Structure 1
Amino acid sequence: MTRVLVAGLGDTGVLCAGALASRAMRRRGLAVTGVSPTTGLVSGQELGLRLARPDSWSRDYRIPYRSFRLLDRVDVVHGRLTSADLVARTVSVVGADGVARELGYDVLVVATGVANGFWRSDAVRDDAAVATDLADRHARLAAAGSVAVVGGGAAAVGAAYNLAVRWPDKQVDLYFPGERGLPQHHGRTWAGVRRRLEAAGVVLHPGHRAVLPGSDEPCPGPVTWSTGQAPAQADLVLWAVGRVRPHTGWLPVSVLDEHGFVRTGSDLRVPGVEGVFAIGDVAATDPLRSTARNFQHTVLAANVAAYLEGRPLREISLPGRRWGSVLGPQRTGLEVFNPSGRPFRIPRVVVDRALQPWVVKRGIYGGVRR
């Protein structure tokens, strides 16, 4: 029996495990195991919707693993990875009960992701703990009369917009260090998003670089600036500054780059070690970590199969800038920006009746039970 172990079952890991399980149905003798600190998918996407409307967010972005049809053939282990022996091809996992166990593999896929804010964690939690956390954070934001969102990336921009739309009477300020937000997107994308932010009442503050606290947890103001402005007061400060920390403390440093990401070749293999692949935000493939998107999980699954069969592996092809949705699904629909920054809108009825149930849950995820 050939054992494939997927470390991490977040957005990318679920897709990889499902694609590998699909291949296992066609290839006898292939067993797929996934390791996750949660009992279901807790997506890192759409922070704004998650904070402003957690029930709506949970419908599409918090899904029990047992609901994914393609994971029926995956042995899901609930626990936290603590170490790996890449020579002996084993990993150690501490379960929710505190008991450590060792898992062997023939191929290891590292998809443990990163922490880039309070909403991405590798703490061991069950579904009830996740639900409590979502409700508590929503309640804190609802109670705040003013919110300062610090950061210029898609998470910060989307959060500021969704909070302003959800609570029109709330003072929402968005602070970012550059002349514009969304620096990794096309300029046209920022121009379109900026108009929507201003129309929603978000006050924009370019050129503000914050003195960062020791924690990314939301906290009361003030916020101080290394760029010389007066401190900013707010009832609650939402930190979304992209302070990325890869979840790689369980791996030997020999496979990591100077920033702690997994060194990865253009075929997603980890150089210098047999049978190890890496994908998603944890993989040092390109500055945008583009294998977390762009359907690269299909390349990963094909390359694992090719590796096991001794065939040549494919190389990934990645875009030069970020694209896609920034503000997330709204009552009027979903606005998506293409790589050249031009928007197109998907009506809400299409999002609810076709995009999510048919394109995403059935087409991409291979079927999700209610």
Structure 2
Amino acid sequence: MAKTIVILGASYAGLTVTHKLLKNTLKNKKGEYKIVLVSPTTHHYWNLASVRAIVPGQMPDSKLFAPIRDHLAPHKDTITFLHGTATSLDPATKTVIITTSSGTATAQTYDILVITTGSRTKDPVPWKPSLDGYEATRDRLHKIQEQVNSAKSIVLGGAGPTGVEAAAELGFEFGKGKEITLITSSSQILLGTPPNVANFAENVLRKLHITILKDTRITSSQPLPPPSTQIELTLSSGAKMIVDLYLPTVGVLPNTDFVPKNLLNEDGDVVVDDYLRVKGVEGVWAAGDVVDIQPSQFVYMQKQAAALAKNLDLVINGKVPVLYKYDGAPMMAVALGRSRATGRFGNNRLPSLIVWFLKGRTLGTQNLQGLVTGSGA
């Protein structure tokens, strides 16, 4: 009987691992293994470009969304795509309960389990895919585009990479045409980066006519009574702001509600060892936004997904997995509109032109089709 590899999540990490297994590890093991790929969405969402996609007319849906199931057809004897969501996990019996898109709950056993379920936002903003599926993600994005188009004043809450990139995109497009404010509770934007990186980004934002409020928290946001469509923000200073659109960029949660609590840390991240195996259980692996070993950034996800696929290949072929090396210099790349960018490698600021060329120029959308087809695996 074929052994079963269940992969939960068909986003960046999940699709990378899936296609590497199909193209490499399992191509000469016909009938020995089968893959069950579980995803709450039928389409992959290239959310790295969401910061530019909120600007009407800048990013068509064809560059953001691509169907997943269609490109698995050549491997139909080896893989099954299951449109659903994991709702519970029992490592003792090696069983995952999957609630399908039709609402039916089914028990799926596994020999190997890969958790790559990603993360979600607390608020209805387009930075992450919706757990309600492709249509919900697409419609949420379109609604934000309409709101951006009609808004005269926009506030972004949080000045991490997403907040800074989104503010820069809005400033690049609209300049003085809209009042755009970036609010952070920290004393600098891009907290944790070297001062020269943060200062460079701040200077670019100010040139794009972005107002930056530091050491300020947004303590509440309330819609004004109808017929108004504006929002009242209360700041930590006690001041009030009335704005047309509020886009929070903080409050990201790992999609690990189905995982037993003893396998998670206090933030809800899956605790893994130096091989990307989930600690305390047999045959379970994890990568991407759900793991506890590195920040939730694309550059780290890529490395984790490749390392996990390699270790699965070794284990399936009866070999010993290798250590995942994650103690290198911290890295970050931040687009600053459609012509500038910044980034870090360790304590060094990366040149704007290089980061713009590698990331800011397209925000990686040229890689969407390669991800879903497996040609980039």
Name 2:37's counterpart in structure 1: 34
Counterpart for residue 19 of structure 1: 20
For the 8 Å contact 2:6–2:37, the answer to whether it is kept is: yes
Aligned residue number for residue 85 of structure 1: 90
**Equivalent of residue 164 in structure 1, options 162, 171, 193:** 171
Which TM-score applies when normalising by structure 2? 0.83
1:106 offset after TM fit, Å?
Answer: 0.9
Deviation at 1:213, TM superposition (A): 5.5
Q: Distance in 1 between matches of 2:240 and 2:269?
A: 34
Amino acid at match of 2:290: V
* Residue equivalent to 1:10: 11
Read off the aligned partner of 2:151 and give its amino acid letter: A
Which residue number corresponds to residue 299 of structure 1?
307
Displacement after TM superposition at 1:352 (Å): 7.9
- The aligned runs of 1:87-126 (5 Å cut-off) are 87-117=92-122, 118=124, 119=126, 120-125=128-133
Q: Given the superposition, is the C-alpha separation of residues 207 and 229 from structure 1 closer, same or farther in structure 2, using an over 3 Å criterion?
A: farther
Secondary structure of 1:222's counterpart equals strand
CA–CA distance in structure 1, aligned partners of residues 18 and 358 of structure 2: 30
1:239 corresponds to:
248
- Tell me which of 262, 265, 279 is aligned to 2:287: 279
How do residues 213-362 of structure 1 correspond to structure 2 at under 5 angstroms?
Answer: 220-226=230-236, 228=237, 230-241=239-250, 243-287=251-295, 292-318=300-326, 319-327=328-336, 330=338, 332=339, 335=341, 337-339=343-345, 340-345=348-353, 357=366, 361-362=369-370
Q: Judging changes above 3 Å, is the alpha-carbon distance between structure 1 residues 188 and 316 closer, same or farther for their aligned structure 2 residues?
A: farther
Q: Name the aligned partner's letter for residue 4 of structure 1.
A: I
For the 8 Å contact 1:172–1:203, the answer to whether it is kept is yes
> CA offset at residue 290 of structure 1?
7.3
Aligned-partner residue type, residue 62 of structure 2: R
How many residues align? The count is 357
Q: Relative to 1, partners in 2 of residues 1:197 and 1:69: Cα closer, same or farther, differing over 3 Å?
A: farther
Distance 1:70 1:191 in 2: 49
Cα offsets for 1:242-283 (capped at 9, x unmatched) = x23221111211211122211111110011111001111111
Amino acid at match of 2:243: A
Alpha-carbon displacement from aligned partner over 1:45-95 (angstroms, at most 9, x marks no partner): 233112114761633332211465798554221112111121221211111
CA contact (8 A) 1:37 1:123 kept: yes
User: Following the alignment from structure 1 to structure 2, what is the Cα–Cα distance between the partners of residues 9 and 349?
Assistant: 24
Pair 1:110–1:363, CA change in 2 (3 A): closer
Matching residue of 2:66: 63
Structure 2 CA distance for aligned equivalents of residues 179 and 160 of structure 1? 17
| 1:306 aligned counterpart, secondary structure | helix
Deviation at 1:99, TM superposition (A): 1.6
The letter for the 2-side match of 1:48 is: V
Deviation at 1:188, TM superposition (A): 2.7
Question: What residue is the counterpart of 1:148 in the other structure?
Answer: 155
Aligned-partner SS, 1:233: strand
1:163 and 1:322 mapped to 2: Cα distance?
25
2:153 partner amino acid = S
- Report Cα offsets for 1:146-197 as digits up to 9, x if no partner: 0011101011111111122223311100011112111133333222222221
Specify whether residues 205 and 288 from structure 1 end up closer, same or farther in structure 2 by C-alpha distance, changes over 3 A only: same
Q: Distance in 2 between matches of 1:349 and 1:259?
A: 32
Mean CA deviation greater in 193-202 or 267-276? 193-202
Distance 2:120 2:239 in 1: 29
Cα deviation digits, residues 302-361 of structure 1 (max 9, x gap): 111223344222222224434123336x2x4x74634122224267799989x754x675
1:189 corresponds to which of 183, 197, 200: 197
Q: What letter matches 1:98 in structure 2?
A: G
C-alpha deviations, 1:201-254, integer Å up to 9, x for none? 111111112215699xxx84322223x25223311111112x232211112112
Percent of matched pairs sharing the same residue: 22
**Which shifted more, 274-283 or 286-295?**
286-295
Distance 1:312 1:198 in 2: 52
Partner secondary structure for residue 157 of structure 1: helix
Aligned letter for 1:235?
D
Deviates further, 253-262 or 60-69:
60-69
> What is the TM-score of this pair, normalised by structure 1?
0.85
Three-state SS of the structure 1 residue aligned to 2:218 is coil
Whole-Å separation in 2 of the counterparts to 1:245 and 1:106:
28
Contiguous gaps of at least 5 residues in structure 2: 224-228
State how far apart, in whole Å, the 1-side matches of 2:57 and 2:19 are.
26
Unaligned stretches of 5+ residues in structure 1: none
Is 1:138 the equivalent of 2:145? yes
Quick one: which amino acid aligns to residue 102 of structure 1? Answer: A
Alignment partners' CA distance in 2, 1:296 and 1:173 = 35
Aligned partners of 1:262 and 1:133: how far apart in 2? 28
